[in-house]
């Protein structure tokens, strides 16, 4: 199977651009999920002051979005922390009847903030999961071994010219430990750093984790998307990992922007009846794109193009 047949870009890309929200410089790397017979999202918007904030958005069809012009403010019961809302690259994970938002928060440097909601109207900040510096915190959609589980990437203050994916667990979403190395960079398109993308999808072949990989070229970083299948009960054990990328910046809106040559996968929607997988990804740190594939094709590609 040729890799260009795995994901097909939506012809109306990009589906979200900064001119849709007053005062937005860029909108990208944002999370969406099904909710209440429609769709809801938490969007990264960098304002004209180029500060990253979280905004709520809603959609009936998952493509046309109405995004709140005012930032999302997440209350905190801890007076030492205060309300939260700045930060970037959110993910949304449903566990039971609760929706958890994880994002790159600021606590004397980048860390992973964790908040919860049941209705996307009232929110509660839980805690910053890790000491700085850390990015790409992605919760699994069920407990593993009786504990909450998360993928994350230790980092630094800057643009992080390195990075491996780690797995860890928590009994309460506050105290995190038992960190296990999943994998790090490898040759080619993922030779500089890697990071977890959308919430992992549980399949018969293992947890499907779509991730981003980065390489350094003479003109800067290039971000692509790949996939791995992780063991269901020991997700730090990698069963398969793509040697070839699934999606790379080829379109103009992926090549030109505030940060050129970026495809950054953040969220998926899975149609259980048809097996169609919808991938939401940031384009050139400027706008949001969508691509489609069959889940079975992504799994087969991951297995047949593995290291």
Per the domain annotation, does 163 fall within a domain? yes
Helix (H) or strand (E) holding 252: helix 252-255
Cis amide prior to 14 (ω within 30 degrees)? yes
Mean pLDDT of the chain: 96
pLDDT bin (cut points 50, 70, 90) of residue 4 is low
**Is residue 297 helix, strand or coil?**
helix
Question: Under a CB-based contact definition with an 8 Å cutoff, are residues 43 and 16 in contact?
Answer: yes
Question: Under a CB-based contact definition with an 8 Å cutoff, are residues 205 and 197 in contact?
Answer: no
Write out pLDDT tens, residues 244-263: 999 999 999 999 999 999 99
Write out pLDDT tens, residues 82-102: 999 999 999 999 999 999 999
pTM of the predicted structure, to 2 decimals: 0.97
Say if residue 2's pLDDT is above 50: no
Burial (Cβ within 10 Å: 0-12, 13-18, ≥19) of residue 16:
buried
Per the domain annotation, does 8 fall within a domain? no
Tokens of 183: 């994998």
**Is residue 149 helix, strand or coil?**
strand
Per the domain annotation, does 3 fall within a domain? no
Cα–Cα distance list, 300 to 187, 240, 241 (Å): 21, 10, 11
Burial string for 271-280 (b: 16+ CB within 10 Å, else e) reads eeeeeebbbb
Tokens of 83: 């309300």
Q: What is the CATH number of the domain that holds 77?
A: 2.115.10.20
Per the domain annotation, does 5 fall within a domain? no
128: Cβ contacts below 8 Å, ≥ 6 apart: 81, 105, 107, 111, 112, 113, 114
Per the domain annotation, does 197 fall within a domain? yes
Candidates 306, 153, 149, 122; CA nearest to 234 is: 149
109: Cβ contacts below 8 Å, ≥ 6 apart: 132, 133, 157
Instruction: Give the model's pLDDT for residue 3.
Output: 41
Q: What percent of the chain has pLDDT over 70?
A: 98
Say if residue 5's pLDDT is above 80: no
pLDDT bin (cut points 50, 70, 90) of residue 159 is confident
Per the domain annotation, does 253 fall within a domain? yes
Per the domain annotation, does 9 fall within a domain? no
Determine the structural domain holding residue 300 and report its residue range.
17-304
Residues linked to residue 249 through DSSP beta bridges, in sequence order: none
Helix (H) or strand (E) holding 22: none
Write out pLDDT tens, residues 216-236: 999 999 999 999 999 999 999
Number of domains in the chain: 1
Per the domain annotation, does 10 fall within a domain? no
């Amino acid at each position: 199977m040729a890799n260009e047949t795995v994901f097909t870009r939506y012809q109306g890309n990009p589906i979200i651009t900064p001119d849709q929200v007053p005062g937005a410089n860029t909108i990208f790397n944002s999370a969406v999920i099904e909710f209440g017979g429609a769709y809801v999202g938490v969007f990264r918007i960098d304002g004209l002051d180029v500060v990253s904030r979280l905004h709520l958005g809603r959609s009936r069809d998952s493509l046309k979005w109405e995004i709140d012009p005012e930032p999302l403010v997440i209350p905190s019961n801890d007076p030492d922390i205060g309300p939260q809302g700045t930060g970037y690259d959110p993910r949304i994970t449903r566990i039971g009847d609760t929706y958890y938002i994880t994002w790159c928060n600021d606590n004397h440097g980048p860390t992973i903030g964790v908040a919860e909601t049941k209705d996307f109207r009232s929110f509660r900040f839980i805690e910053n999961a890790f000491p700085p510096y850390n990015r790409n915190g992605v919760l699994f959609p069920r407990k593993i071994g009786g504990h909450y589980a998360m993928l994350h990437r230790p980092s630094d203050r800057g643009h992080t010219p390195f990075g491996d994916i780690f797995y860890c667990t928590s009994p309460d979403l506050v105290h995190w430990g038992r960190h296990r190395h999943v994998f790090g960079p490898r040759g080619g398109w993922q030779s500089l750093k890697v990071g977890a993308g959308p919430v992992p999808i549980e399949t018969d072949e293992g947890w499907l984790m779509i991730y981003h990989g980065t390489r350094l070229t003479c003109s800067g970083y290039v971000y692509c998307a790949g996939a791995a299948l992780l063991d269901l009960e020991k997700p730090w054990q990698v069963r398969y990992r793509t040697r070839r990328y699934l999606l790379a910046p080829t379109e103009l809106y992926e090549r030109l922007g505030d940060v050129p040559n970026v495809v950054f996968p953040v969220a998926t929607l899975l149609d259980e009846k048809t097996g169609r997988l919808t991938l939401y990804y940031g384009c050139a740190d400027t706008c949001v794109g969508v691509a489609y594939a069959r889940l079975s094709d992504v799994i087969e590609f991951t297995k047949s193009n593995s290291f």
